[in-house]
Structure 1
Amino acid sequence: MKIAPESFTRYLPVSSQSIRWGWHLIDAGRQHVPPGSSYPSDGHPLNYRFDSDGGRVLDEFQVVYIASGKGRFSSRSAKEKEIKTGDALLLFPGESHRYRPDPATGWNEYWLGFSGTDATRVMEAFFSPRDPVLRCQHTGELTRLFDQLLHWVSSPTASSPQLLASHIPMILAFLKTGSNERSDEAALVQQAKMQMLSDLSKRTDLQAIARELGTSYTHLRSTFKKHTGYAPREFENMIKLKRAHDLLLSGKYNVSDTAEALGFNSLHYFSRAFRKAYGQSPKSWLKQNEASAKQRFPSPSTRETSP
C-alpha cells in the first residue's frame, strides 16, 4: 500500500541576502488532503487563507503542483477548469483565484511561494496569468526537486537562502519545457544541473550522471554547452566559486576550508580556478571585500533573527 506523504509547511523570514540575490523563497510545503476532508487545512497565516467564497489574493508568486488527485481551478484571468495529477498552478501577485480538490478523490499537493527582481522578470517574460495551469511532463523530477527543497528547509541547520532559492528557477524551467519542442534536451540539462547542485561538497561524477540519465558523457557535454554556454565542469565550478564568496565572507572559513567544503581536489586547483574566474587570488579578493563582509554578515548582536 502506498503511504501518503506527510504534510509540512514552512514560512521563511525575510533575508537581505536573498533579496539582493533576486530570488527569494518565502514559503514551501506539501499537503495530503484525503477524500472528503476540509480544504485548506488550518494553520496557515491569515493572509494565505481563502475567504468565505473560496477565493483569495496573494502578494507573491506561487507554484502549486498536484502530485496526485484532481480538482477545480479558476482565476480572474482564466475560466474554471479541471485540474488533475501532473498539473501545476501558477499564482500571480494581485490575481484573485480559487482552487480546491475534488471531495471524491482529495489530492496531494506541493507548493512554494517566491518573489524577487529576477523572479519577476522570468515570470513576466515566460508565463502569463491567462494561462495559469500547466501540464507537467517531468513529474518525477518535479517531485524530487520539491522533496529536496523541503528536506533542506526542514533541516535543523537551515541551508543558505541562495541554495534554497535555487530550486525556484529549476522548477520553473521544468514547467516551461513542458511545452517546448526541445524539451528532451532541456530536461536532460536540468536534471544534470539538479544533480550537480544537490551536494556542493563533492566533485560531481559527470560520467556517472550521464549513465544515470541514459546517455553518453559526450552527448551530455555537448547538449549542456549548447543550452548553457558552459561545459558541465565549468558550470559546476562557476556555481561553487559563487558559493565560495559567501563562505569566505562569512568569516567562518579560511581559503583552505572553503576549498575543502566545496569539494575541490586541492587548494592549488581552487585558487587557480578562483583567479581565472575573478582575476585575483581568494586571499586578495577577500581582503578587498572585507568591508562588504561586515555588512553581509553582521555580528550576532545585529544579525537578523527569525520571528
Structure 2
Amino acid sequence: MATKVESNFKYLVSSGKDLLWGITVDNVGSADIPPGYDVYPPRIGHPEDYYFHPDKGRILSNYQLIYISSGQGICYLQPDEPLKIESGNMLIIPPYTWHSYSPDRKTGWHEYWIGMRGDTIEKRFHNGFISPSQKVFKIGFREEIIEYYRHAQNIAMEEKPGYQQVLSGLANMIFSLALYYDANRSLISDRNVQLVEQARTILRENYLTNITPQQVAERMNTGYSLLRKIFKEYTDISLLQYLIELKLQTARTLLINSSKSIKEIAFYLNYEDALYFSTLFKKHVGCSPSEFRKMYSTTGE
C-alpha cells in the first residue's frame, strides 16, 4: 500500500537588487516522509538540479539548512562514510559540496529546509564562525526554529514586494540559532526538556489529524503518564489543552481571514461534529465561532 508524503515548498528567483542585500533565499520547504515510504525524495515539483537519488547524491550551488524534527536517517558527506541523523539534528551543507541523505524506512522523518546564498553567509564560513569539517549540528527539538521555517514558507508562497529581505532575515535567524544551540548543547541535555520539546513538535506537526496525547507518547516510546506529568510541570498546560489550543489558534485565523463556513472549519480541524466544535470554541474563547467572526472578520461577512 502506497504511503502519502505531505510536502510544501517553493523555489524562488532573485533580482539583482535582492543580491545586494547580502543574503538571498533560493528555496524553502518541508516534507513529512512517513514510515514505509515508497520513494525518497518525492519527485513531483522539484527542479531537476535539486532532485537527487540517494545512491548518487548531489552538488548544489547554495547553502542548505536541513532540519530533522522527527524520525531518523542517514547522511553521506563522503560516499562510503554514513552519518546517523537523528531528530533534533540540522545539516548545514555548503555550496559545491557533494552530499546525500535519506530517512530510515522504519521511521520516516519530518524535514524542513531553506537554501540561501550571498556575501554575508560566505563571510561567516570564511571567518571561522563555523568549522569547515562540521556539517551535522545537534540543536535539539526547537519549536521556534520550526516556526521560522513555516513563516518563511508562507512568505515565499505569496512573493509580495520585499519578500526576499524578509526571507533573508528568517534564514539568518535559523542559521544563527542552529550555531547557538549546537554551541550550548549542555542547555538542551536535560531529558525532561527534550521530551517536552519533542512532544510539542509532534503536536504542532500533526494537530490537524486525529492524533491523541497517548499516540504522541507512543511515537516517542515514552510512558503516557510520565510524559503527561513532565509536560504539565514544564508548560503549565496539559497535552490535551495544548492540542486544543493549536486547533483554536487555527480556527481564529480562519474565522477572521477566510470565508470557510463553520462546518468547513470544523472539518478542516478534524472535528466531524460542527456542533461539538462550536461548543468547544465557546467554552475556551468565550463566544461562538459565528459571534467571533462578526466581531473580527476581515472578509466583510
TM-score normalised per structure 1: 0.54
Preserved CA contact (<8 Å) 2:41 2:53: no
For residues 52 and 107 of structure 1, what CA distance do their matches in structure 2 show?
Answer: 15
Residue in 2 that maps onto 1:300: none
Identity %: 30
Corresponding position of 1:163: 166
Q: Aligned to 1:164, what secondary structure does the other structure show? A: helix
Shift of 1:5: 9.6
The AA in structure 1 aligned to 2:33 is V
SS of aligned partner of 2:183:
coil
Query: CA 1:157–1:22 in structure 2 vs 1: closer, same or farther (change >3 Å)?
Result: closer
Unmatched 5+ stretches in structure 2? 188-234, 236-301
Measured in 1, the distance between the counterparts of 2:23 and 2:119 equals 7
SS at match of 1:14: coil
Q: Residues of 2 paired with 1:127 and 1:73: CA distance? A: 19
State how far apart, in whole Å, the 2-side matches of 1:158 and 1:39 are: 34
Corresponding residue number in structure 1 for 2:91:
89
Query: Does residue 1:22 correspond to 2:22, yes or no?
Result: yes
**Aligned partners of 2:95, 2:67: CA distance in 1, in Å?**
18
Query: Shift of the alpha carbon at 1:76?
Result: 3.3
CA contact (8 A) 2:9 2:29 kept: yes
> 1:50: which partner in 2?
52
Contact kept, 8 Å, 2:75 with 2:85, in 1: the verdict is yes
Give 1:32's aligned amino acid: D
Q: Which residue of 1 aligns with 2:292?
A: none
SS of 1:72's equivalent in the other structure is: strand
One-letter amino acid matched to 1:114: M
Deviates more, 1:11-20 or 1:78-87: 78-87
Q: Is the 8 A contact 2:156 2:163 kept in 1?
A: no
Distance 2:42 2:140 in 1: 28
2:144 matched residue in structure 1? 141
Give how far 1:79 is off.
Answer: 3.5
- Check conservation: 1:63, 1:89, Cα contact below 8 A: yes
For structure 1, list consecutive stretches of 5 or more residues without a partner in the other structure: 185-213, 215-307
Q: Which residue of 2 aligns with 1:76?
A: 78
Matches of 1:79 and 1:129, distance apart in 2: 17
CA contact (8 A) 1:12 1:26 kept: yes
**Separation of aligned partners in 1, 2:179 and 2:169:** 16
Letter in 1 for 2:119: T
Structure 2 CA distance for partners of 1:138 and 1:66, relative to 1, 3 Å: closer
**Which range moves more in the overlay, 101-110 or 12-21?**
12-21
**Superposed CA offset, 1:58-110 (max 9, x none):** 11110000011100012039942111111001111111111100000111100
2:65 is aligned to 63
Amino acid at match of 1:170: M
Which residue, out of 118, 122, 131, partners 1:128? 131
8 A Cα contact 1:54 1:99, kept in partner: no
Q: How much has 1:15 moved relative to structure 2?
A: 1.6
Deviation by residue 1:222-259 (Cα, 9 ceiling, x = unmatched): xxxxxxxxxxxxxxxxxxxxxxxxxxxxxxxxxxxxxx
How many residues align? The count is 182
1:163-203 per-position Cα deviation (integer Å, ceiling 9, x unaligned): 1111111111111112335997xxxxxxxxxxxxxxxxxxx
C-alpha distance 78-140 of structure 1, shift in aligned 2 (>3 A): farther
1:101 to 80, 84, 103: 103
Structure 2 counterpart of 1:40: 41
Q: Report the CA distance between 1:17 and its aligned residue.
A: 2.2
- Decide whether aligned partners of structure 1 residues 77 and 95 sit closer, same or farther in structure 2, where only a CA change above 3 A counts: farther
Q: Distance in 2 between matches of 1:52 and 1:83?
A: 14
Post-superposition offset of 1:133? 0.5
Q: Assess if the C-alpha contact under 8 Å between 1:78 and 1:131 holds in 2.
A: no
Letter in 1 for 2:63: F
Q: Distance in 2 between matches of 1:137 and 1:84?
A: 9
Deviation above 4 Å: which 4+ runs of structure 1?
A: 181-184
The one-letter code matched in structure 2 to 1:136 is: I
